Amino acid sequence: MNPRALRGAELEYGRFFLPGPTEVHPEVLHAQTRAMVSHRGEASQAFMRELQVGLKRVFVTERPVFISTSSATGLMEAAVRNAGRTRVLSLVNGAFSKRFADIARACGLAVDEVEIPWGEAHDPEAVAERLRERSYDAVTMAHSETSTGVLNDIRTLAGVVRQHDDTLVLVDSVSGFGAAEVRPDEWGIDFLLTGSQKAFALPPGLAFGVASERMMARAATAPNRGVYFDLVTFAEDHDKDQSPTTPALSVLFALEVQLERMREEGMDARWARHELMAEMTWGWVDEMNKTGVGLEIVAPPGFRSPAVTAVRAPEGMTGPEVVDRVADRGWLVGGAMES
Ligand SMILES: *Cc1c(COP(=O)(O)O)cnc(C)c1O
């Protein structure tokens, strides 16, 4: 690890630009210093009920929002364990959508992939064709593919998958949620998952999932859903305003504050603000090009994530060099993913 990457702690607020963890507002950070409480009993149940009100608002859903004390990868495993019986189709266009396929395989499922070049977005028609060739229990996909900055059109893709009654739509919106519009109920997403530390702008430690009724019906008969990520258990505990195991309480305290901040801003305004920030970034790259620096945005116009912009380093300079030189000027940006 580059020691300069640890500089985050010394930076003034507003200069920390990793895709995740993202910078956390001081007010949200501070909420974590609250004293511990029991995670059982009436007070904690009231707290959990209140969190659900805020969570449903930001996830634009009427469904329960499951809170998992894990990183987002835990709920990627939950997605395939609860939805998969024998075979899934994975839409791969970068490192995280590839990870989704790998997790499904590791959980004992047969996995077919629609793999397109990294940096491109999935074509709904090509996916429709694959779904006509064979039946699948579920289709996995990434909303905002953090490794390339590509935003897949999950709304249209979900519509295509939904033509097949028995095929569930599983969406990793880890870097998408909180920055890009997402409406799981309206768009027919059977399982939408995200983590706390990307555009949710919370510390790491929690993951969130919204499961459709179809997903819960499938989970009830899923042969291999395990223990920690059993969505049936999540639903049962949700109904009692509890969590299955001891939750990361400090991050829940931060969540309470962040949900209030998001309520004040409004999700439409939040999405618009991220779009504007992304456009400013893309505009800067265009400006640099005009001066002959030779930068290139990986994702094509129309399929760019409002949360993450991946830029190819100019000729003759490596990614880590760029990161270092930006750090020397007092800003922290992420380098390429090390795989
Ligand atoms: C960060 C990220 C993940 C993994 O999240 P963890 O919380 O580290 O498990 C998965 N998918 C995408 C698109 C991500 O950006």
Residue 148 · residue 94 · CB < 8 Å: yes
Q: Is the dihedral of CA 235, 239, 240, 241 positive or negative?
A: positive
Q: Which residues of the chain have pLDDT under 50?
A: 1, 339
Residue 9 confidence (pLDDT): 61
Residue 108 · residue 224 · CB < 8 Å: yes
Q: Where do the domains of the chain lie?
A: 3-19+267-333, 29-263
**How many angstroms separate the alpha carbon of residue 188 from the centre of ligand 1?**
22
Ligand 1 contact via 77 beta carbon (within 6 Å): no
Domain covering 3-19+267-333: architecture: Alpha-Beta Complex (3.90)
- Asked whether the domain spanning 29-263 has the same topology as the one spanning 3-19+267-333, the reply is no
d(CA 207, CA 265): 22
Q: Does domain 29-263 fall into CATH 3.40.640.10?
A: yes
Looking at the CA of residue 146, tell me the nearest atom of ligand 1.
Answer: 15
Helices marked H in the chain: 26-30, 42-58, 72-83, 95-106, 124-133, 154-161, 184-187, 213-221, 231-239, 249-265, 267-290, 319-328
Using CB atoms within 10 Å of the CB of residue 92, give its burial: 0 to 12 exposed, 13 to 18 middle, 19+ buried: buried
Ligand 1 contact via 146 beta carbon (within 6 Å): yes
Ligand 1 pocket test, candidate residues 70, 140, 146, 200, most atoms within 8 A of CB: 146
Ligand 1 contact via 71 beta carbon (within 6 Å): yes
